[in-house]
Chains A and B, each alone.
Chain A
Amino acid sequence: MADVTAPGFVPEARQETLTTADGTPLKVSLRRSQRRQRRRAFYLVAPLLFFLLITFGWPIAQMTFRSIYNPEVANYLPETSAAIANWTADEVPGEEVFAAMARDMQLGLEDRTIGRAAARINREIPGARSLVMGTARDLDEMQAPYREAFLQADEDWADLEFWRLIKRETRILTPAYYLLALDFEYNAEGEIVERPEVYQVYRLLFWRTAWMSLAITGLCIALGYPIAHLLATLPLRTSNLLMILVLLPFWTSLLVRTSAWIVLLQQEGVINDLLVWSNIVDDDGRVRMIYNQIGTIVAMTHILLPFMILPLYSVMKTIPPSYMRAARSLGATQFTAFTKVYMPLTLPGLAAGVLLVFILAIGYYITPALVGGESGIFISNLIAQNMQGTSAQLKLASALATILLVAVLVLYWAFNKLIGVDRLKFG
């Protein structure tokens, strides 16, 4: 949009009421016509905006909301939630709480929702499911006072930890899934503590995802830079051929390329066979190169390499060879000319490549799942794991995914501060 105080427009100080033929001030009329233009432009992009909002914005908002939404206890045990609000948490609750629990169970049995509350509680206290379900099934044989009846049916109803958990879980919004996602939890007293070591896994996985993505990015630079340089400087016929060699794998399906690496790297695979055949290793000492971190790094470096080469190539192509020659003729060594003249000029491409490769890498799923075994998987594989299986924890998966998203945004922000995204050249 053009600025209202464009050159040629007379400043207000000198000429106050410049008007159009029908008497409206020129400024107003101009703004009106521009607004119309702006609106028309907006209508043009509106379908795309709407599409993005529906397919991108809304699901992400949903996901983020899910990671803190905790309705099970409050919704499926409403009376208990209300009754327990005044409980002081230092002795077994009184009859009013037990009676409320009995009424909730009655309703929950009719609606068949009692199991949902029980499943939520059971996640924190194993065995609570059968406690709640077992008593609920016998409910029609019980009579008030329910406190005694429940305690008689199962002494676990006197467990203070159980009631404290119920009280804590009545909150509709909870940070519990974020705590889990960072290997913390609430203890019986409601304080936030580190989880027992045998359950800790997510921080390790975030850390592993980060360093392996960095390693992959580093390898991509080391391998991609010389290739891009060759592509940009070789005579056209040779460089075209080379370009096809770069693009062909780029166009090949991700799954095909990953499976090809399985064929090459596995213990009965091509590389091991060659090693055995040439007597470098013996048949029992076949090297394990896949289903671990090496497998993930090798396969992902190969798959992400074009994302490094292409932006580098597009930048290198624009650097006139005469710059290097000028530097040499002014007395610089080859090395100085390269580091002082050529390298800085390729930085926008390099930075674009690094950003692309690194951000693609930390969200990678298929390749680590296929060649990573157990030690080479990424955080995205654990997110998927939490969406499947018998004890799927969609909310934990949402929390993990939200953390990953925020981490990427922070990285992008930092990158922008350091290098400036507008200076990047993506090809």
Chain B
Amino acid sequence: MKRIPFLLAATALIPAAALAAEGDTLTIVSWGGAYTNSQVKAYHEPYSEKTGTQIFNEDKSANALAGIRSQVEAGNVTWDVVDMLQADAQRACDEGLVMEIPHDEWLAESPDGAAPTEDFIEGTLGPCFIPQILYATMFAYNTEAFDGEGPKTLEDVWDLEKFPGTRALQKIPQKNLEWALIADGVAPEEVYDVLETREGQDRAFAKLDEIKDSVIWWSEGAQPPQMLADEEAVIATAYNGRIFNAQVNEDQPFEIIWDHQMFEVDGWVVPVDQNEADLELIKDYLYFATDTQRLADQAKYISYGPARKSSAPLVSTHEETGVDMKPHMPTSPENLETAVSFNTEFWADYGDQLEERFNAWLAQ
């Protein structure tokens, strides 16, 4: 078992070592698919053009925390910058796996001179975390799968009679348990209080049991749009940007159910134990890639809300199709009406326990 992280680390080393002689390189870990694409277009390509730095993408963000843990433990850190969820970043920070970041020292000011700590949206900055985007996870469906009206609410998702067919859910307890409770009648603002109790957990799993036989599970963000397109599933949870990408770039007949969307922050961390030259390069990259214009640029390729306040007015239309981005943003007011804010603190405390129970529930 020890060999796997070692091998991974070794294979990650090979390209880095082979190319080190030719110039500076950065290994950037992200989520793959349309999301990495938007980063390549908005951050990586302009940066490489400007500095000649070569950037390697690894699509490992789904297992980023475990990856950083094993690299730090083995004393062989090969990742330079890692894209991570805010909750995972907080845990990595507590465990001393990622560097503390002096935001005002490392990052660019807004065009009108506001310090980064002022410019990023309140509550998104973490001691080790530079936010990039606000994104939503919510249900979406293929309109061709239903003859009449499509599902509109969370209750409809659970209604197998009115809307028969397979559901695709993410293979994690996070969000699924919250939605199960809300569908079962718990008020959104009380969800986390209920989920702290044993009875509340039983209730959430019982609600998931109702649809378990009609559920297939996904683990990578690129899967749900594919599953919907193949009609392997008729309703799926997904990241809103992925559905947007399928709607706009691939003309898929998908519809987003914004009811009780859960929004979260995603951003950069830097694993510890970087050598000095690498660290300079990383700082330079982050200064460039998180400035106001770059964050706004990313929103030209994918419908995620930029984490800087000064970027919001610069968000305009989709680069290739000219679609107005604003109504597709998870932060636009009509999409936010019933939104549930994801509680990172709760999941930092109860994540281990609930994940264990979730995995046992799946296998039983």
Contacts and interface: CB of A to CB of B under 8 A. Distances in A.
A126 B352 contact: yes
B91 A387 contact: no
A198 B360 contact: yes
A204 B359 CA distance: 13
Contacts of B349: 122, 126-130
A391 B351 contact: yes
A33 interface: no
A382 B363 contact: yes
Contacts of B5: 387
Contacts of A62: 2
Nearest to B350: A126
Contacts of A389: 62-63, 65-66, 172, 355
Contact of A130 (B216, B348, B359): B348
Contacts of A129: 94, 348-349
B350 A392 contact: no
Contacts, number: 112
Contacts of A200: 360
A374 B363 contact: yes
Contacts of B143: none
Contact of A199 (B4, B70, B357): B357
User: Interface of chain A, helix or strand or loop or mixed?
Assistant: helix
A382 B359 contact: yes
B352 A122 contact: yes
A389 B345 CA distance: 17
Given A114-B94, A374-B363, A388 B351 contact: no
A248 to B, nearest CB: 29
A298 interface: no
A34 to B, nearest CB: 38
A389 B356 CA distance: 11
B323 to A, nearest CB: 32
Interface stretch (A38-46, A331-339, A394-402): A394-402
Interface string A196-214: 0011110011000000000
A1 B240 CA distance: 72
B359 A385 contact: yes
A383 B1 CA distance: 9
A66 interface: yes
Interface in B283-308: none
Interface in A116-150: 116, 118-119, 122-123, 126-130, 133
B56 interface: no
Contacts of B93: 115
A390 interface: yes
Contacts of B172: 389-390
Contacts of B217: 374
Interface string B119-137: 0000000000000000000
A398 B1 contact: yes
Interface string B215-252: 01100000000000001100000000000000000000
Interface string A347-369: 00000000000000000000000
Interface in A70-119: 111-116, 118-119
Given A205-B363, A385-B359, A133 B94 contact: yes
Nearest to B205: A198
A198 B356 CA distance: 9
B96 A204 contact: no
The interface centre, meaning the residue of B1, B2, B217, B345 with most chain A CB atoms within 10 A of its CB, is: B1
A64 to B, nearest CB: 10
A62 B70 CA distance: 14
Contacts of A398: 1
A127 B357 contact: no
B88 interface: yes
Interface in B191-230: 196, 202, 205, 216-217
User: Interface of chain B, helix or strand or loop or mixed?
Assistant: helix
B361 A59 contact: no
B3 interface: yes
A288 to B, nearest CB: 10
The interface centre, meaning the residue of A62, A63, A66, A122 with most chain B CB atoms within 10 A of its CB, is: A122
A113 B63 contact: no
B364 interface: yes
A128 B91 CA distance: 13
B363 A59 contact: no
Nearest to B353: A126
A114 B93 CA distance: 10
B69 interface: yes
A115 B351 contact: no
Given A111-B96, A113-B96, A123 B352 contact: yes
A291 interface: yes
A268 B233 CA distance: 12
B183 to A, nearest CB: 20
Contact of B66 (A115, A198, A375, A392): A392
A375 to B, nearest CB: 8
A377 interface: yes
Contacts of B1: 59, 63, 66, 383, 387, 394, 397-398, 401
Given A59-B2, A389-B63, A119 B355 contact: no
A112 B351 CA distance: 21
B94 A115 contact: yes
B203 to A, nearest CB: 12
A190 B172 CA distance: 31
B362 interface: yes
Contacts of B202: 198
Contacts of A127: 196, 349-350
Given A201-B363, A390-B91, 11 more contacts: A66-B2, A112-B95, A113-B96, A115-B96, A127-B350, A200-B360, A204-B364, A388-B63, A388-B66, A389-B65, A397-B1
25 contacts: A62-B2, A115-B95, A118-B94, A119-B94, A122-B349, A123-B353, A126-B352, A127-B196, A128-B349, A130-B348, A198-B357, A198-B360, A201-B363, A291-B216, A373-B216, A382-B359, A389-B63, A390-B66, A390-B87, A390-B355, A391-B355, A391-B356, A392-B63, A392-B66, A394-B66
Please provide the 7 A-B residue pairs with the shortest distance between their CB atoms, ordered closest to farther.
A115-B94, A112-B96, A392-B66, A201-B360, A115-B95, A391-B352, A59-B2
